[in-house]
């Protein structure tokens, strides 16, 4: 965590993507005590996931890689030294009697704030589940949607389910350490990188295409075997396995924030022209919002919605003061910072 953290913040920005980062800079420009909370251990939102791609539609920048844009955004966001909390997924919000908020993360940490700006993109990714009876019984013990290390599978009989890059990567990583590795995929071809599929065919991994897991068998919480259904040959076989790794992709989800009582339509938070949500003191901007005329999935949209929200937050916190947008060219602190460097 960077900067001061243990007191009330004027605004807490949830999400450290392009929208949240630019909003943090703008909040600093407006003298708001600001905190950013990001679920990932790094900033940039979606940008780090396509870091080599070149963007041509960021105003004033002819061409820039997503990696360089992330670096520039982060540098700019740090201008006024906001507090930054990493690896904290905000789940709960409590409104106190005085109108301020407590935000509680999945790690149990509480963050106190006067206002909230949700810049959470499409939310976080939630793995698509294996749709087999009893699957939940083994989830977290012998049925996995990811694992910190492949080491826990050493010497085990492991079945990987899926046909994309992640499934093939898992099968390759397990090939040299597991006792047995099977890869089951419902289609007749893998959708993964060709080179990796070719590499996989040279290992001992047992490939089962046009097939799917039909049933899981075991007792006392121990997985013993699975029934595999062969969709083309219309037959079934039984396979002894200790562990299953499911790689069926993931879909974005707003998670616990859906329970905050905000007006949400088609997985987007509904805001007015000031980016105010249906709840007083809670604002939203970027990919997560919807309003008439919203251009979805554009970084430039978040760059105007963030400042709109921050200007409104300034007015919300200072109801008696007239609040107008300000110019950076006249900003004494910015002039001082840039004249120094």
Ligand X SMILES: Cc1cc2nc3c(=O)[nH]c(=O)nc-3n(C[C@H](O)[C@H](O)[C@H](O)COP(=O)(O)OP(=O)(O)OC[C@H]3O[C@@H](n4cnc5c(N)ncnc54)[C@H](O)[C@@H]3O)c2cc1C
Binding positions for FAD: 19, 38, 46, 50, 90, 125, 287, 329
Alpha helices in 113-193 (DSSP H): 135-138, 165-175
Reading phi first (left if > 0) and then psi (alpha if -120 to 50, else beta), residue 83 is in beta
Name 224's Cβ contacts closer than 8 Å, sequence gap at least 6. 217, 218, 240, 241
Cβ proximity to ligand X, 19 vs 161, nearer residue: 19
141: nearest Cα among 152, 151, 130: 152
From 161-169, 183-191, 292-300, 327-335, give the range in contact with ligand X by CB under 6 A: 292-300
- Binding flag, residue 307, ligand X (CB under 6 A): no
Strands (E), 185-292: 206-208, 211-219, 222-230, 235-240, 243-246, 250-253, 264-265, 268-270, 282-284, 289-290
Name 104's Cβ contacts closer than 8 Å, sequence gap at least 6. 90, 91, 92, 93, 94, 110, 111
Residue list for the binding site = 19, 38, 46, 50, 90, 125, 287, 329
- Binding flag, residue 121, ligand X (CB under 6 A): yes
- Binding flag, residue 90, ligand X (CB under 6 A): yes
- Binding flag, residue 123, ligand X (CB under 6 A): yes
From 15-23, 164-172, 186-194, 265-273, give the range in contact with ligand X by CB under 6 A: 15-23
Measured between alpha carbons, how far is 24 from 212 in angstroms, rounded to an integer?
47
Cβ proximity to ligand X, 67 vs 331, nearer residue: 67
Instruction: Evaluate whether 2 touches 84 at the Cβ level (below 8 Å).
Output: yes
State in angstroms the smallest separation of the CB of 94 from ligand X: 15
Q: Which of 9, 34, 45, 247 binds ligand X (CB under 6 A)?
A: 45
Cβ proximity to ligand X, 209 vs 304, nearer residue: 304
Helix (H) or strand (E) holding 336: helix 332-340
Binding-residue pattern over the window 237 to 256 for ligand X, x denoting contact by CB under 6 A: ------------------x-
Q: Which of 89, 143, 208, 216 binds ligand X (CB under 6 A)?
A: 89
State in angstroms the smallest separation of the CB of 135 from ligand X: 26
Instruction: Evaluate whether 285 touches 308 at the Cβ level (below 8 Å).
Output: yes
Q: Which of 55, 64, 317, 323 binds ligand X (CB under 6 A)?
A: 55
Q: Which of 82, 163, 286, 307 binds ligand X (CB under 6 A)?
A: 286
Measured between alpha carbons, how far is 308 from 321 in angstroms, rounded to an integer?
17
From 39-47, 69-77, 180-188, 194-202, give the range in contact with ligand X by CB under 6 A: 39-47
Q: Quick one: tokens of 299?
A: 């970084």
- Binding flag, residue 57, ligand X (CB under 6 A): yes
From 27-35, 43-51, 76-84, 177-185, give the range in contact with ligand X by CB under 6 A: 43-51
Query: In a 10 Å sphere around its CB, with 0-12 CB exposed, 13-18 middle and 19+ buried, how is residue 66 labelled?
Result: buried
Cβ proximity to ligand X, 173 vs 264, nearer residue: 264
The residues that touch ligand X, with contacts defined as CB under 6 A, are: 14-20, 37-40, 45-47, 50, 53, 55, 57, 89-90, 119-121, 123-124, 255, 257, 286-287, 297-300, 302
């Amino acid at each position: 965590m960077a900067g001061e953290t243990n007191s009330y913040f004027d605004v807490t920005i949830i999400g450290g993507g392009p929208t949240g980062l630019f909003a943090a800079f703008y909040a600093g420009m407006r003298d708001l005590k600001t905190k950013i909370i990001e679920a990932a251990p790094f900033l940039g939102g979606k940008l780090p996931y396509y870091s080599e791609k070149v963007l041509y539609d960021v105003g004033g920048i002819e061409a820039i890689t997503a990696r360089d844009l992330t670096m520039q955004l982060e540098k700019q966001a740090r201008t006024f030294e906001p507090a930054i909390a990493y690896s904290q997924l905000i789940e709960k919000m409590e409104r106190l009697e005085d109108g301020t908020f407590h935000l509680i993360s999945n790690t149990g940490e509480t963050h106190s704030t006067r206002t909230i700006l949700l810049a959470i993109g499409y939310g976080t990714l939630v793995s698509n589940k294996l749709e087999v009876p009893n699957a939940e019984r083994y989830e977290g013990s012998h049925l996995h949607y990811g694992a910190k290390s492949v080491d826990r599978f050493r010497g085990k009989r492991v079945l990987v389910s899926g046909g994309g890059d992640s499934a093939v990567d898992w099968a390759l990583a397990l090939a040299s350490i597991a006792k047995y590795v099977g890869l089951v995929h419902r289609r007749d071809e893998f959708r993964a990188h060709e080179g990796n599929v070719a590499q996989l065919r040279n290992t001992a991994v047992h490939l089962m295409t046009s097939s799917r897991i039909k049933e899981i068998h075991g007792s006392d919480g121990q997985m013993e075997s699975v029934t595999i259904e062969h969709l083309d040959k219309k037959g079934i076989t039984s396979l002894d396995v200790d562990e299953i790794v499911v790689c069926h992709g993931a879909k974005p989800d707003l998670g616990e924030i859906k329970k905050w009582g905000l007006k949400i339509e088609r997985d987007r938070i509904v805001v007015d022209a000031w980016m105010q949500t249906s709840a007083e003191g809670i604002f939203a901007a970027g990919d997560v919002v919807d309003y008439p005329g919203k251009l979805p999935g554009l970084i430039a949209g978040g760059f105007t919605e963030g400042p709109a929200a921050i200007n409104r937050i300034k007015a919300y916190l200072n109801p008696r003061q007239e609040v107008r947008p300000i110019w950076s060219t006249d900003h004494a602190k910015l002039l001082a910072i840039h004249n120094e460097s």
